Each structure stands twice: as structure tokens, then as C-alpha cells.
A and B are shown apart, each in its own frame.
Chain A
């Protein structure tokens, strides 16, 4: 099945550093979502983006909906140990009604003290 291209695949950073990751698609989406997943758990929604060019923050997280509607970016500022996990982007094509999420390949984030 289709997966969006997400990079980097994994990151090993020090506590306090800023993190950037991005997601690209060959097709347009109307909605971009960012999720974080801990081992053995379901993905937890972090941020939702609905308009091209939109920039949205949630605490230390900031995400942007690319103006081409084919990409999205997630930044985490001042990382802390609990940021460890796998981050997934997801694109949704059809607003509201019949829809499905197409997920990225994931970015594994590891934080050292």
C-alpha cells in the first residue's frame, strides 16, 4: 500500500535540542495530521492542519501545511526524554465524509540526556 515519504527515518539527539522532520507526497492532501506512537500503543494525535500554508503550534510542537499541499513539516523545540517515540505524518484527501488516512513511514526519535 501507499506510504508517504518521511525523513529522517531516525534521529538521535541530545536533550534540549530542536528537532525537524518532514513528510512529502506525490499527491495532494486536504488535511495533514501528525501523530506520535509509543511502543505497543496506538498513535496519539499531536497536530491537525487544514489549510495550505497553515502554521499551527501545540506547546513545543509546531507543524506546517506546505503550500503545494504535498508536504508537511513538524518541529519540536527543546526536546525532552518523553519526546522519544515514532512520529507519523498522515494525509487525508477527502474532507469530512468518506476518507482514509495515508501514513508516512515514520521518524524514530531518540533523546539522550
Chain B
């Protein structure tokens, strides 16, 4: 089954760091852009960042630029989101999603909860 699975969420203090991982299954990972999208509990969706097939192009939301980094390891079929200088407003469920030339997100993980609180 084509799927992506996130991990790495948890409770972190303001100013702290966290690294999220996303591993893909049953598709050629290196053929696709990969994206991160987050959702405040009970709120809407916010696009966070993406990375192209070979990792040479990276884009970030204004809220993430300068604090978050995205990377991928095609040998491990995985994409990562390194989050630094975390703020309470970064509290959300973070979803990994498969992107691409259709500019739509067609495969989503189950999400991993990040809570930023003292």
C-alpha cells in the first residue's frame, strides 16, 4: 500500500528543537516532491515546507523560514523536518504529504503531534 508514516513528535519547551521524520512505502520516493503540512488542534491546515526530488530546491512558509529546515535521504525513502526555536504557536499535528507536478497532495500520513509548552 502506498503510504507515508511520520514520527518524532512530542512535547518540547519554547525555544527547543525537534526533528520529525517521514518514511515512505510502496512508491518510488525519489520521483516525488515531499511536503509538510500542519494543523493546529481544531483549526485549519497550513502548508509548512517542501523539497524537490534530489533535495536541491526547498521552499518554506513565512512562519517557518529561518527556523525550520527540510532534508531528505532517498536511500532511506525518508524526508525530515528539523524545527528549531520552537514557539507555542508551532503546536500542531504535522503531516507529511506527497506533492508533485499536480500541485496537490495525494498521499498523507497519519500525522505526528508537536506540543510546544513549558
Asked if A pairs with B, the answer is: no
* B residues with CB within 8 A of A: none
